[in-house]
Chains A and B, each alone.
Chain A
């Protein structure tokens, strides 16, 4: 059953259709990857799904509900969380505060919003610590986000998305800029999250994609050119043409 669907989704920036007539269906519980050369429109697709941009045309349906044009802050409350390709954390905050703020946003109630001391929300605190523990940053909870390494910031990026207890997790190149060693850790992490959340993954590293994905969609110049299992995608001639500039197909 599809938990997240797009129907003829289009986003045009002037004459350029960054996302062009994309109809995508994400099955609940699986890991669905979106691949494509740079500039294919993958991140724009995420920006549309999470309400950062409003689409020019088409619809987005999340869990049977039309969320087209819903602003980002509302989308988060529906249970759609994302991580960013460029690290996008709260630099002066401690790691714990970084995830706390995401956990509180999705908390059951905002009672005492402007009055109750923020350390007196035991549930939110526990949820925040659990998210940090999930990505292996529990011991660094009190350090400032700007003081940790790039690899750790990528983990934190993921933890912020997890802290909101999402139903669907959109991961935009979680391994961007990581060393081989850090990449291995990140892949293990994504693998561990698989099954707990429905995951949509954008990634460039093919070995990662092929080993973790249930299904793969391929984008090229804003359009969807192929969809299938990893094995099917590897055989697809159109995909080869997109990646290898036509050489492989001739």
Chain B
């Protein structure tokens, strides 16, 4: 695991030279979003197709406060985390009562509900036009309108999020969630209330999504309607699966691949989702553990090769 931490740190530094700061920033925001999803998907075994509910709600609420009340950045982040957690508690409470396909459909349906509220409530959200004019307030005298400053700020927040998530998955809670993924009946029988722990996973995942949502709104200065749409929910699932849902680092790698494809390659080639599709098919057919598994298989193959 040590070399993965080094890898993450190097990636944070190098990414700036590979792509422009806005895209690099978006990658780490999306990675925070993915970390939250993966607590549900990879650790608890819950496929939530409605993560943008929490992302979008947080972006709208914090964005609106930033725009109309000029709140400071820290307060905006706290609001985003809170809105993400509360909306996830609401949605989670309804969803954890069901399992399997019904669970997935419920997360999706509730996502649609939130989407149409945002779509209709044009006086606040701007509907299809989105909610523009969100400022990026300075913090402790640092000017965040400078893309490089904002990148460093986001990269630090991402590293902090990664550290927090690492603590969570290595704590008893992480083990309990994995136990639920492995065998719900036994987890219940040894003394864990499965719905309650699933709800807890939802709330934590929602808090991460909310944080990502605010940062996204501040990055682009706008909350587009898509930020609360189901395509966005699907994207984070795709990215996480491509990176590898079995690992803490999977969603990070997935986010690098996904955002790079969608922001850089899309400029050169409008049919870029085709590449994404091919990548996804390869993952599903050959590397169920995503890029992380492909990488570790490559290394064990390398080291088992006789040296000549």
Q: B178 contacts A76, CB within 8 Å?
A: no
Q: Mark B135-175, 1 if CB is under 8 A from A, else 0.
A: 00000000000000000000000000000000110111111
Complex-state Cα separation, A116 to B190, whole angstroms: 21
Q: B189 contacts A76, CB within 8 Å?
A: yes
Q: A114 contacts B173, CB within 8 Å?
A: yes
Contact partners of A71 in chain B: CB under 8 A? 188, 193
Q: A164 contacts B175, CB within 8 Å?
A: no
Q: A118 contacts B170, CB within 8 Å?
A: yes
Complex-state Cα separation, A105 to B172, whole angstroms: 10
Q: A106 contacts B191, CB within 8 Å?
A: yes
Contact partners of B131 in chain A: CB under 8 A? none
Q: B171 contacts A116, CB within 8 Å?
A: yes
Q: A82 contacts B189, CB within 8 Å?
A: yes
Complex-state Cα separation, A214 to B178, whole angstroms: 40
Q: Which residue of A lies closest to B170 (CB)?
A: A117
Q: Which residue of B lies closest to A91 (CB)?
A: B182
Q: Which residue of A lies closest to B182 (CB)?
A: A90
Contact partners of B185 in chain A: CB under 8 A? 52, 88
The verdict on B217 contacting chain A, using a C-beta distance below 8 Å, is no
Contact partners of A97 in chain B: CB under 8 A? 175
Number of A-B residue pairs with CB-CB distance less than 8 Å in the complex they form: 92
B173 CB contact (under 8 Å) in A74, A82, A100, A113 = A113
Complex-state Cα separation, A248 to B185, whole angstroms: 41
**Cβ distance A54 to chain B, nearest Cβ, rounded Å:** 14
The verdict on B176 contacting chain A, using a C-beta distance below 8 Å, is yes
Q: B172 contacts A121, CB within 8 Å?
A: yes
Counting contact residues on chain B (CB < 8 A from A), the size range is 20 to 34
Known: A104-B172, A110-B172, A118-B170. A52 touches B189 (CB 8 A): yes
Contact partners of B96 in chain A: CB under 8 A? none
Counting contact residues on chain A (CB < 8 A from B), the size range is 35 or more
Q: B191 contacts A73, CB within 8 Å?
A: yes
Contact partners of B183 in chain A: CB under 8 A? 88-91
Complex-state Cα separation, A77 to B193, whole angstroms: 11
The verdict on B29 contacting chain A, using a C-beta distance below 8 Å, is no
A73 CB contact (under 8 Å) in B168, B192, B204 = B192
The verdict on B187 contacting chain A, using a C-beta distance below 8 Å, is yes
Q: Mark A67-104, 1 if CB is under 8 A from B, else 0.
A: 00001111011000110100011111100010011101
A72 CB contact (under 8 Å) in B167, B168, B189 = B189
Complex-state Cα separation, A164 to B191, whole angstroms: 9
Complex-state Cα separation, A177 to B176, whole angstroms: 29
The verdict on A153 contacting chain B, using a C-beta distance below 8 Å, is no
Complex-state Cα separation, A104 to B171, whole angstroms: 11
Contact partners of A52 in chain B: CB under 8 A? 185, 188-189
The verdict on B179 contacting chain A, using a C-beta distance below 8 Å, is yes
Q: Which residue of A lies closest to B187 (CB)?
A: A101
The verdict on B194 contacting chain A, using a C-beta distance below 8 Å, is yes
B178 CB contact (under 8 Å) in A93, A106, A116, A164 = A93
The verdict on A112 contacting chain B, using a C-beta distance below 8 Å, is yes
**Cβ distance A101 to chain B, nearest Cβ, rounded Å:** 5
Complex-state Cα separation, A89 to B190, whole angstroms: 11
A76 CB contact (under 8 Å) in B168, B173, B176, B191 = B191
Complex-state Cα separation, A93 to B167, whole angstroms: 19
Q: A88 contacts B186, CB within 8 Å?
A: yes
Complex-state Cα separation, A84 to B171, whole angstroms: 27
Q: B188 contacts A101, CB within 8 Å?
A: no
Known: A114-B168, A118-B175. A105 touches B186 (CB 8 A): no
Complex-state Cα separation, A76 to B186, whole angstroms: 11
Complex-state Cα separation, A116 to B168, whole angstroms: 8
Complex-state Cα separation, A115 to B168, whole angstroms: 6
Q: A118 contacts B174, CB within 8 Å?
A: yes
Complex-state Cα separation, A21 to B186, whole angstroms: 28
Most buried by A among B185, B189, B194: B189
Contact partners of B186 in chain A: CB under 8 A? 84, 88-90, 160
The verdict on A6 contacting chain B, using a C-beta distance below 8 Å, is no
**Cβ distance B290 to chain A, nearest Cβ, rounded Å:** 17
Q: A112 contacts B171, CB within 8 Å?
A: yes
The verdict on A50 contacting chain B, using a C-beta distance below 8 Å, is yes
Q: A114 contacts B171, CB within 8 Å?
A: yes
With contacts A88-B185, A118-B172 known, what are 5 further pairs, Cβ within 8 A?
A: A77-B191, A89-B183, A102-B190, A104-B176, A164-B190
A-binding residues in B (CB < 8 A): 167-168, 170-176, 178-179, 182-183, 185-194, 204
A sample of 13 cross-chain residue pairs with beta-carbon separation below 8 angstroms, ordered by A number, consists of: A73-B188, A74-B191, A81-B190, A84-B186, A91-B183, A102-B190, A112-B171, A114-B168, A115-B171, A116-B172, A117-B167, A160-B186, A164-B191
A-B pairs, 10 with minimum CB distance: A105-B191, A76-B191, A90-B182, A102-B190, A114-B173, A73-B193, A101-B179, A72-B188, A105-B190, A118-B172
